[in-house]
Chains A and B, each alone.
Chain A
């Protein structure tokens, strides 16, 4: 188990290696809520607020899709690094859909999205036990207009940093 964990960590660190340049985290508007670096973020680097604002807490999806874009992978790699750097935190990944779908299907679609993000984080070395997923379907939009500009932001998986692991 210890070896496995160490190997996983090594893999994760290697995987992170290419991404340590903060300039690449959340580049572009699509990652939402992130800035190019920690600059302008008051929060301490080990705080959930920093994760949300500087790392970027969400990735976006195409219509009716749950596959991760290159940009989403970059954001998730940043999330994974932060989670590995801050091992006391757990995370809940919330999957969401836009309103253009039936309620049950959107719940299932949101779950697919949350799980896609989760699987990527796990592949980057974040222990499965620290990650949970929940789908809100179309129940919790952040943008409320009924056009693609809003829908694009609502089709998301948001990694919410939750209370620390009990040790």
Chain B
């Protein structure tokens, strides 16, 4: 049985023997000094079962392979090593041929396009060394233009079957696309697939936009814009690309918005007379409630997935630190106690961890801690890392990394919660402030 146990990530610091004990059967994950040996898989071109489906069949297999390899948990066995070819989706798999090239998982599929332009994709996953299918075959249909989404759904299924975790490939990222030099930077909202494909701009670059945040269903985005000349929170409908100001009180600044888990409320900051506090707003009724009353800076609020609590940052102690309070305000409990400053907390969709930005000794880090502040782990270190956002399955974090100096620019990066697999996310040009959508339906 091939299975990558995600708990291994969190156990990565434990002695090797304990990790090994968690393995069973022909599992070939080898952990040495916290590094997991990626699981080899083969993803031959899907079989084209109708005329003209050849390109899509090939492309889908490539995207599936890229999704899996991109996690760092899987390694693709190149087609040049194949002994057998998959020419028929229905024919029995020659396990010995795939064993011989050490492909522990085999993904086969078939693609056909109907006369109505609908795409049908079937696929199977095989546990080569066990000599059996892993789960049963599945079928996805969609539009021809939507072939990448189908590929991501296939990859999500494979990933889930092998890891036992939810996937995250059929998801999108909204972020701030940046152009121009540091002292004349142009910013506009952009949305793309998690892997950088299908990029679309949502605003022009005529005014500064900051920190877009997806709604829990991915259909709306909250962000801060200087459209009026002053920072204000806007709500954008992704489908129609229409927007409206949510907050427009003269003499105030509103920023740092995030949705509640039910998508009905927004928590955000209002600055008035130099003081910044946290508020909650019901989108439909416009009813507002002040949640913090302090002369210090209270900002960057983020709901727990159950909607009962809010984690935020405050400098009430003298430096930026993380606090948790009830979702309707009330007494806050400080959870960050390490060296340095902590900001931009974001609650994991699984509820177990809080990701944050940490500044210490002139360096910036993305880190995670338990919700009680224990088990703090720093995942990255650089001149400037900030603004984490969680993948839908709570296993990967995307963030902004900015390079230093006059020619410095911002890019999106991702990293596992284990600190492994740090890599730049492919975007055209520079990008910052990513927000990861939930899995699409």
Residues of A within 8 A of B (CB): 64, 66, 99-105, 107-109, 111-112, 114-116, 118-119, 132-136, 139-146
A143 contacts which chain B residues (CB < 8 A)? Answer: 183
Given B208, B271, B357, B402, which contacts A99 in the complex, CB threshold below 8 Å?
A: B402
Given A101, A104, A115, which contacts B273 in the complex, CB threshold below 8 Å?
A: A115
A104 touches B300 (CB 8 A): yes
B200 on the A face (CB < 8 A): no
Contact sample, A vs B, 18 pairs, CB 8 Å cutoff: A100-B362, A103-B344, A103-B387, A104-B255, A104-B343, A105-B313, A107-B255, A116-B274, A133-B274, A134-B229, A139-B210, A144-B182, A144-B405, A144-B406, A145-B405, A146-B383, A146-B404, A146-B406
B251 contacts which chain A residues (CB < 8 A)? Answer: 132
A135 touches B253 (CB 8 A): yes
B231 on the A face (CB < 8 A): yes
B328, chain A: closest CB distance, angstroms: 21
Given B182, B208, B344, B384, which contacts A104 in the complex, CB threshold below 8 Å?
A: B344
A108 touches B276 (CB 8 A): yes
Determine the residue in chain A with the shortest Cβ distance to B299: A104
A134 touches B231 (CB 8 A): yes
A109 touches B384 (CB 8 A): no
A38, chain B: closest CB distance, angstroms: 28
Interface members, chain B 330-383 (any A CB < 8 Å): 343-344, 357, 359, 362, 383
Determine the residue in chain A with the shortest Cβ distance to B273: A115
Docked CA distance A113–B276 (Å): 12
Docked CA distance A50–B238 (Å): 47
Given A104, A108, A115, A135, which contacts B211 in the complex, CB threshold below 8 Å?
A: A104
B234, chain A: closest CB distance, angstroms: 15
Given A102, A108, A119, A144, which contacts B387 in the complex, CB threshold below 8 Å?
A: A102
Q: Mark B405-416, 1 if CB is under 8 A from A, else 0.
A: 110100000000
B188, chain A: closest CB distance, angstroms: 13
- Which 4 pairs, one residue from A and one from B, show the smallest C-beta to C-beta distance? A115-B274, A146-B404, A108-B276, A102-B343
A139 contacts which chain B residues (CB < 8 A)? Answer: 185, 187, 208, 210
Given the known inter-chain contacts A104-B256, A111-B253, A134-B229, please indicate yes or no for A66 contacting B274, CB distance below 8 A: yes
A144 touches B269 (CB 8 A): no
B181 on the A face (CB < 8 A): yes
A109 touches B297 (CB 8 A): yes
A141, chain B: closest CB distance, angstroms: 6
A98, chain B: closest CB distance, angstroms: 11
B112 contacts which chain A residues (CB < 8 A)? Answer: none
Docked CA distance A133–B408 (Å): 28
Given the known inter-chain contacts A103-B386, A108-B297, A132-B251, please indicate yes or no for A141 contacting B182, CB distance below 8 A: yes
